[in-house]
Amino acid sequence: MLEIKNLHVKLEEEDKAILKGVNLTVEAGKVHAIMGPNGSGKSTLSYVMSGRDGYEVTDGTAALGGEDILDMDPEERAAAGLFLAFQYPVEIPGVGNMTFLRTALNAQRKARGEDEMSAADFLKLVRAKAKDLKIDADMLKRPVNVGFSGGEKKRNEILQMAMLEPKMCILDETDSGLDVDAMKLVSDGVNALRDEGRSFLVITHYQRLLDHIKPDVVHIMADGRIVKSGGPDLALEVENNGYADILAEVA
């Protein structure tokens, strides 16, 4: 599904290399997790995948379903099935959450040559999905993420994911700032979307989230590279011993 080869990325504004040769393949239907110390480049990887400005790819490739995505605009990547649940979801005053969701959904359908969804069908769908995530009517009406608590923002990300039904979901620290109940809601939301044709890349600091969203493969990222990959046990190892041992081992 997602194939990243030898990806090197530096900041556009300064000569600072952040990703230094990332290799990663997420197969269809699989859940991969990336763990790693702060500043190791996890968010950068997710931003570069989704097409955010400010980064320069100096080497390597990234393909989604066999198609090179690095030259695509962010909206093209989204229409191709990529979705990033942001570590810090953005507040957009003045744009209603519902309008936003509907515009996004129909823009993607249009880009894929599909018919727009009718207002009635959309409403039915969004209500059902919102209910599962305990998102009330008020949250749907309010401007995107404005005045939402940390947990509400993260649930709103999952709602968008559920509505847009992407093929490749990248979740950047979706667990940060969540209490136990919210964590359960969010994980249930993600698990409900698990499907043979859908892949996940779950970025997290903690094993906690991976108790709920069971990964197939766990990667450790450090200083802009994937330094170790393994099964779910690797996450437990990190939880118990921290990163020091692993980093020492690969150094």
Ligand X SMILES: Nc1ncnc2c1ncn2[C@@H]1O[C@H](COP(=O)(O)OP(=O)(O)O)[C@@H](O)[C@H]1O
Residue numbers at the binding site for Mg ion (CB under 5 A): 43
Nearer to another protein, 24 or 101 (CB): 101
Nearest to 177 by CA among 88, 84, 238: 88
Q: Which residues contact 241 (CB under 8 A, 6 or more apart)?
A: none
Nearest to 198 by CA among 106, 81, 104: 81
Number of residues engaging another protein in binding (CB under 8 A): 32
Please state the length of the chain: 251
Could you tell me the smallest distance in angstroms from the CB atom of residue 37 to ligand X?
7
Contacts (CB under 8 A) with another protein, residues 65-94: 73-75, 77-79, 83-84, 86, 89-94
Contact window for ligand X (CB under 6 A) among 37-45, 100-108, 144-152, 239-247: 37-45
Nearer to ligand X, 56 or 216 (CB): 56
Question: What are the distances in angstroms from CA 160 to CA 20, 70, 156, 232?
Answer: 31, 23, 6, 27
Contacts (CB under 6 A) with ligand X, residues 5-24: 11, 18
Nearer to another protein, 164 or 227 (CB): 164
Please name every residue paired with 84 in a beta bridge, in sequence order, or none if there are none.
170
Check if the beta carbon of residue 74 is closer than 8 Å to that of residue 53. no
| CA dihedral (90, 173, 29, 66) positive or negative | positive
Nearer to ligand X, 18 or 78 (CB): 18
* Binding residues for another protein (CB under 8 A): 50-53, 73-75, 77-79, 83-84, 86, 89-95, 99-100, 103-105, 107-108, 111, 143-144, 160, 164
